Amino acid sequence: MTLALYRIDDRLIHGQVVVGWGQPLNCSFIVLVDDEVSSSDWEQDLYRMGVSPQIEVIFASVEQAAAQFSDWEADARVGILLVGDVETAVALAARVPQVKRFNVGGVHHRAGRTERLRFVYLTDEEASKLRELAARGVEVTAQDVPTARAVPIGEFT
């Protein structure tokens, strides 16, 4: 198979990802791309606790992800790629042209961000980066769980 879902979600590995998407997709591995988490043993330990032992969790920085991307795409199993913020998604897409879609699954409130959807809060800069990403041919939609509608980028940025 291949990477079935590319998701921007600031909670990274959580219930919507593992149960909401992971179960119906029969996901066997999760690639978590985050520069900070990839260098933090205790955080990696925590995130591993969030999935069942049958699911492999791979931690990578953006650079490592760019180098290993083709291996994950060629993997016979179904996988999910997760990034924690818009910046990482943009950096990854810039280095890996094969990334053709991103699902904004959850970006929550912080100072400077305004509500775009009930599960998407963005600064103006983040919204503009997502629009640029879409202009470069990446399909950007917002959808928290598979049973919800995929909201096109034009409706939330």
In the complex with another protein, the residue whose CB is nearer, 96 or 103, is 103
Q: Is 115 in the site for another protein (CB under 8 A)?
A: yes
Per CB under 8 A, which region of 61-69, 95-103, 112-120, 131-139 contacts another protein?
A: 112-120
In the complex with another protein, the residue whose CB is nearer, 66 or 85, is 85
**According to DSSP H, which parts of 6-147 are helical?**
15, 23-25, 41-49, 62-74, 86-95, 124-135
Q: Is 54 in the site for another protein (CB under 8 A)?
A: yes
Question: Out of 65, 144, 153, 157, which residue is the one contacting another protein (CB under 8 A)?
Answer: 144
Q: Is 43 in the site for another protein (CB under 8 A)?
A: yes
* Binding mask of the shown chain, residues 20 to 39, with x at each position contacting another protein by CB under 8 A: x-xxxxx-------------
In the complex with another protein, the residue whose CB is nearer, 13 or 96, is 13
Instruction: Give the residue among 14, 17, 61, 8 at the shortest CA–CA distance from 37.
Output: 61
Q: Is 76 in the site for another protein (CB under 8 A)?
A: no
Q: Give the span between the Cα atoms of 84 and 33, in whole angstroms.
A: 8
Q: Give the span between the Cα atoms of 48 and 126, in whole angstroms.
A: 29
Q: Give the span between the Cα atoms of 133 and 114, in whole angstroms.
A: 20
Residue 120 tokens read as 């998407």
Rounded to an integer, what is the distance from CA 146 to the centroid of its chain? 14
Q: Is 59 in the site for another protein (CB under 8 A)?
A: no
**Contact positions vs another protein (CB under 8 A):** 11-20, 22-26, 42-43, 45-47, 49-54, 106, 108-110, 115, 118-119, 121, 144-150
